[in-house]
Structure 1
Amino acid sequence: MSKPLEPYDRVSLSAASAIGVSDRYQQIKFRVFDLTLEYLEQQGVQGEAIPRAVLQDEIARAISVVLMSRGIALNLMERAQLIEDVQNEIVGFGPLEPLLNDPEIDDVIVNGPNNIYVERRGELEPVSARFRDTTHLMNVIQRIVSPIGRRVDEGTPYVDGRLPDGSRVNVIIPPVALDGPIVSIRKFKRTPLTGEDLVRGQALTPEMLAFLSDAVRGKRNILICGGTGSGKTTLLNVLSSYIGPKERLVTIEDAAELQLQQSHVVRLETRPASLDGASEVSSRDLLRNVLRMRPDRIILGEVRSSEAIEMLQAMGTGHDGSMATIHANGPRDALERLEMLIGLHGFSADLQAVRRFISGAIDIVVHVQRQTGGIRRIAAICEVTGMEGATYSMREIFAAGEKKEGFQSRRIV
């Protein structure tokens, strides 16, 4: 038999309305939430052990008991919202859950417990959702990183991770973050985008899509470059859909985001070092192992370190049709960045030999840009044709531009 709930102070609707509906609801939610969880525990309700529909009924019953015993009045909409919020706290990610389920939201940014922003259609805007305090926020952070074997604490104050749906998460906490825990979530579409979706969104033209799809089917090695948030991974995911269903694909990522539709896909993910500096598994380690796994194509989420050497060797020695992304401001800049990464990690050869190595491995470079208003578009598609003396020989296949009738591309060759 559960212990009866103690009397509580009455909430006046007129006094509550004076502080505004949003603030009123937030105050009541935080007040009722702990009491509801306590009641559920008294009743032996375990959120992870029962179906979601049954859990919702149990939560609704518990909230009714709590509200009646405390004399708290809520309208039907607020009561339904409270049931959903408590359910999210038990089996979801708390205040973040409705934001993650909103298909119009692309990014969720948490700057401490009281400041949450979202990106819609390329524009950041604040939302009324908030955490109760820093402890509440840290509990949700641990719920995010624990299932994927990551940890975040004072000894390791930052971490990259992912949600079950593939959305990328970055967390950084005090003492490195001075104003409280910071969470950045880049959502991934539950339904993968297609090439036709990108055409409709004017990210590329039909001619660009036809060329790139033919290049993928023709097993050309493709490097996608661009700045942060420019849509590199999205484009990589779309292009991978044109790979044949009978090919064996291996993906390597820091946080698994790619949503490949083929049946024969091996997904690998790096692992950061432990506190003692051991147990790290880098992209380079995985690439070395992948070469023994008989892949038809290798897809590398991002080239950022010594894995550049193994990637280029794989592209140039039998793994045609492989793809990767890299941070760079243009096609030629992408190749120069590869030079830098190779030089920084012990490839002992003169510059011209390094450039021959790169030009022999990369066939096509695609440059994507994030433009004003958050619009992401392909800016250029270039073919790497070899070397002219000590410089790369590159042909610009497509160049993008704006015209009165909309986004256009101009085929150069």
Structure 2
Amino acid sequence: MISSEPEHEVIERQITKRLMSDPEALSGGVSLEVLVHRAVREEAPLLGRQASSELTRRILANVSGLGPLEEMLEDTNVSDILINGPGPVWIERRGCLEQTEVELDEASIMQFVERMIGPLGRRVDRCSPIVDARLPDGSRVNVVVSPLAVDGPAVSIRRFGSRQLSLSEFCSGSVCDLLVSAVRERRNIVVFGGTGAGKTTLLNALARAIPPTERVITIEDTAELKLGLPNMVRLEVRHENSEGVGSVTTRELLRTALRMRPDRIVVGEVRGSETLDMLMAMNTGHSGSLSTCHANGPDDALRRLETMTLLGDTDLPLSAIRSQLGSAVDLLVGVQRCPDGKRLVTSVSVVDETGGDVSASPLEK
């Protein structure tokens, strides 16, 4: 690794500034890597090979990539990269938050934001101060700028590890066997937990118990699921473009999925009125479907599903919604993140409907 001596930082800054201010050189016939390598040799001819290569890599990241964020994105132990405005960058590594030595000013943050979302046809500015997008590597990025972000642009990048966790890493053998049997017996399952608890990761692990002979349609706000099934279609919500048109919602994709001859439908997360469509799909021959929602416990998950269903343009009474919910959802599986960063299944509950009400009874805890 190159040392952090000031002269190296000065050289890095000078070459980066020179190349960024010379668009003709960047668009010429010579590759950017060759240009940077030449510049490093000119500015620091006595630099050793390893230090020179490291300096070249950092300048390339500054000019064409995400600068110091590149190294964080390449670290497989980093799950979240958090920028709270000008100042230090925070990361979550192995489940624990830590402050890095990297500090960014507002201009650098906005430059990196533009590089992330520009190629995706998205924009963020005072008129459109919030944007969600998916990077080419599958990472999910959320950006909030002024006037909503008071202290400067806030950026949250959620990375998804290349290693897929097995179900046995979430729970004991008996619970694992119970959940595998539930999936294979085509029980409808909703995974619940807090933000960052591991809901999507657990959903991935559960879905790997689906037989390869079945056709599965996945619907997600941001494509994260990696099920590895041979007969699968992945659908992703499309947000409105810079002109405010062209959006395709989860609800629309659910209705489309029903016309695609699915054996099972997997909805990454239900957040609103699409909950009713999901429950109706579960009740109309698409058993074995899976989804997630934000909730703190099984009873809270049921109330959340009720509330989200009521958000839709429906005149169904609460009793009818509870009837749908009671007959649609078979199991509620809770997951949480422990202080050491490990994700664990905290409860498995069966959904019961009695006397016009729905409740969750624990099977395993």
Structure 2-normalised TM-score? 0.91
User: What SS class does the counterpart of residue 115 from structure 1 fall into?
Assistant: strand
Equivalent position of 2:293 in the other structure: 326
Moved more, 320-329 or 389-398: 389-398
The aligned runs of 1:11-410 (5 Å cut-off) are: 21=4, 25-36=8-19, 41-42=24-25, 45=28, 56-68=33-45, 74=47, 77-131=50-104, 133-196=105-168, 198=169, 203-274=170-241, 277-384=244-351, 386-399=352-365
Moved more, 226-235 or 173-182: 173-182
Give distance in 2, aligned partners of 1:66 and 1:349: 72
> Cα offset for 1:312?
0.4
Give distance in 2, aligned partners of 1:392 and 1:278: 39
User: What SS class does the counterpart of residue 262 from structure 1 fall into?
Assistant: coil
- What CA deviation, in whole Å up to 9, does each residue of 1:179-230 have, x standing for no partner? 221111111012322234x2xxxx3112222211221122111100111111
* Kept in 2: contact 1:166–1:258 (CA 8 A): no
User: What SS class does the counterpart of residue 138 from structure 2 fall into?
Assistant: coil
User: What SS class does the counterpart of residue 110 from structure 2 fall into?
Assistant: helix
1:283 maps to a residue whose letter is T
Give distance in 2, aligned partners of 1:90 and 1:118: 23
> Cα offset for 1:395?
3.1
User: What SS class does the counterpart of residue 281 from structure 1 fall into?
Assistant: coil
* Kept in 2: contact 1:36–1:62 (CA 8 A): no
Question: Which structure: larger Rg?
Answer: 1
Aligned residues: 363
Give distance in 2, aligned partners of 1:193 and 1:244: 18
Give distance in 1, aligned partners of 2:148 and 2:183: 43
> Cα offset for 1:77?
4.9
* Percent of residue pairs identical: 41
User: What SS class does the counterpart of residue 176 from structure 1 fall into?
Assistant: coil
CA pair 167-22 structure 1, distance change in 2 beyond 3 A = farther
CA pair 111-89 structure 1, distance change in 2 beyond 3 A = same
User: What SS class does the counterpart of residue 235 from structure 2 fall into?
Assistant: strand
Give distance in 1, aligned partners of 2:142 and 2:204: 21
CA pair 24-356 structure 1, distance change in 2 beyond 3 A = farther
> Cα offset for 1:86?
1.9
Give distance in 1, aligned partners of 2:44 and 2:22: 12
CA pair 347-35 structure 1, distance change in 2 beyond 3 A = same
CA RMSD of aligned residues (A): 2.4
Stretches of structure 2 that go unaligned for 5 or more consecutive residues are none
Equivalent position of 1:9 in the other structure: none
2:38 maps to a residue whose letter is R
User: What SS class does the counterpart of residue 186 from structure 2 fall into?
Assistant: coil
Moved more, 133-142 or 93-102: 133-142
> Cα offset for 1:159?
1.1
Stretches of structure 1 that go unaligned for 5 or more consecutive residues are 1-19, 400-413
* Kept in 2: contact 1:155–1:275 (CA 8 A): no
**Quick one: higher RCO (CA 8 Å, sep 6+), 1 or 2?**
2
